[in-house]
C-alpha cells in the first residue's frame, strides 16, 4: 500500500520556485486551397496547416510583454502568401515555413509545422477528364510534420484513415485463456483495420522527393497487408513496417496505430439458415488497438520529435 503524504511532506517536496515550462503558440488548422491556372487545365492543392513557434517567449507569459509574439494572424497570412508560389509536397511547404520564421525573427529558435493534405481527382465528362471540375477523393488523409530546433530540421510523414480489409487468410489462435475468455480460436476470419502511420526521415533528409516516397510507402503498406496469412494484426503490422524500411533507407523508423475492426459471424440458425462465414456484424466498438514502432537497430531515439507531431500536452 502506498504511504499517504502529509501536508508537511508535500510542502517539503514542492518548495522550489514555479517556472515556465515548454511552450509554443501559433495558428491551428489554416485551410488553404491553391489553384494553379497557368493553362486552361487547372491543378488543385488542398491543405490544412498548423504553425506553432518556440523561442524566447518568456516575456509574454511572465510579464505581459508581447515584443516577441509574432501574431498568430501573421502566421496564418504567411501560409496564404507562401501558397501563392505553389505548395508542391506538404513536407517541402512546411520546410519553407520553418525556414522563414526561424530566419525572419531572431528570437524564434524553432517550432512545429503540421499539415493534412486532401486529394482531388478530375471529374470525367463524356469520357474525358474535365479541365477544371474535381471530386474529392483519396483513400486516406496524408499527413506531414516539420520540427525545427535551431538549425536542425526533422521531417515526419504519414497517413491516416486508410481502411483495409481482407476476407480470409487471417486467424487468431494459441492465446492464453482464463475464466473470462469467451473468444473462440479461428484460422479463417475477416481482418480489417484503419491504418494510421507516421514515418520519421533520418536527420539531414530535407530535399527528397517526398511525393514519390509517399506514394511508394502507401503501395508497400497495401501490398504487405495483402501478401501473406496473418496470425495476428501485430504480425501484419511488423511486416508492413519492415518492408517500408527495407525499401527506403532514408526512413529511420515508422510508427503505427491500427484498430482491429472486428467482424463477427452472425448466428442465422434461429431462421433455419446456415452461415458459412458469409454474413457478419461489423462492430465499431469496443475494438482492439494495436500500436507499435518498427525501427532500425541502433537508431538514436528522437522522443522530442515525436512529441512535437502530436497535440501538445
Q: Which residues are catalytic?
A: 27, 72, 262
- Asked if 50 contacts 115 with a C-beta cutoff of 8 angstroms, the reply is yes
In 167-205, the DSSP E strands lie at 191-201
Q: At what angle do helices 90-104 and 210-227 cross, to 10 degrees?
A: 140
C-alpha cell at 70: 509574432
What residues have CB less than 8 Å from 145, skipping those under 6 apart?
94, 112, 113, 114, 115, 155, 156, 157, 158, 198, 308, 309
CA 306/CA 31 separation, integer angstroms: 24
In angstroms, the CA 190 to CA 208 distance is 37
Task: Specify the residue for cell string 496505430.
Answer: 257
In terms of DSSP H, where are the helices of 21-133?
58-63, 72-83, 90-104
Burial readout 112-149 (b: 16 or more C-beta within 10 A, e: otherwise): bbbbbbbebebeeeeeeeeeeebeeeeebbbbbbbbbb
Amino acid at each position: 500500500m502506498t504511504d499517504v503524504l502529509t501536508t508537511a511532506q508535500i510542502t517539503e517536496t514542492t518548495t522550489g520556485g514555479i517556472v515556465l515550462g515548454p511552450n509554443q503558440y501559433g495558428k491551428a488548422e489554416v485551410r488553404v486551397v491553391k489553384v494553379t491556372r497557368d493553362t486552361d487545365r487547372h491543378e488543385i492543392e488542398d491543405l490544412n496547416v498548423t504553425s506553432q513557434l518556440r523561442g524566447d517567449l518568456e516575456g509574454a507569459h511572465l510579464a505581459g510583454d508581447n515584443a516577441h509574439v509574432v501574431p498568430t494572424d501573421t502566421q496564418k497570412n504567411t501560409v496564404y502568401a507562401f501558397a501563392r508560389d505553389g505548395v508542391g509536397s506538404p513536407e517541402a511547404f512546411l520546410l519553407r515555413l520553418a525556414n522563414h520564421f526561424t530566419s525572419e525573427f531572431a528570437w524564434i529558435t524553432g517550432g512545429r509545422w503540421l499539415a493534412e493534405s486532401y486529394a482531388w481527382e478530375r471529374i470525367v465528362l463524356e469520357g474525358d477528364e474535365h479541365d477544371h471540375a474535381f471530386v474529392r477523393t483519396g483513400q486516406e488523409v496524408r499527413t506531414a510534420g516539420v520540427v525545427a530546433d535551431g538549425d536542425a530540421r526533422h521531417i515526419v510523414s504519414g497517413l491516416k484513415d486508410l481502411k483495409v480489409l481482407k476476407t480470409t487468410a487471417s486467424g487468431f489462435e494459441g492465446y492464453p485463456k482464463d475464466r473470462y475468455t469467451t473468444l473462440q480460436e479461428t484460422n479463417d476470419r475477416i481482418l480489417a483495420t484503419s491504418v494510421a502511420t507516421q514515418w520519421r526521415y533520418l536527420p539531414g533528409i530535407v530535399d527528397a522527393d517526398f511525393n514519390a516516397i509517399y506514394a511508394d510507402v502507401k503501395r508497400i503498406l497495401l501490398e504487405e497487408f495483402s501478401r501473406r496469412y496473418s496470425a495476428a494484426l501485430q504480425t501484419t503490422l511488423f511486416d508492413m513496417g519492415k518492408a517500408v524500411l527495407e525499401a527506403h533507407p532514408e526512413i529511420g523508423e515508422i510508427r503505427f496505430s491500427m484498430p482491429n475492426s472486428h467482424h463477427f459471424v452472425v448466428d442465422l440458425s434461429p431462421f433455419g439458415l446456415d452461415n458459412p462465414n458469409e454474413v457478419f456484424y461489423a462492430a465499431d466498438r469496443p475494438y482492439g488497438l494495436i500500436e507499435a514502432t518498427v525501427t532500425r537497430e541502433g537508431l538514436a531515439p528522437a522522443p522530442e520529435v515525436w512529441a512535437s507531431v502530436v497535440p501538445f500536452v
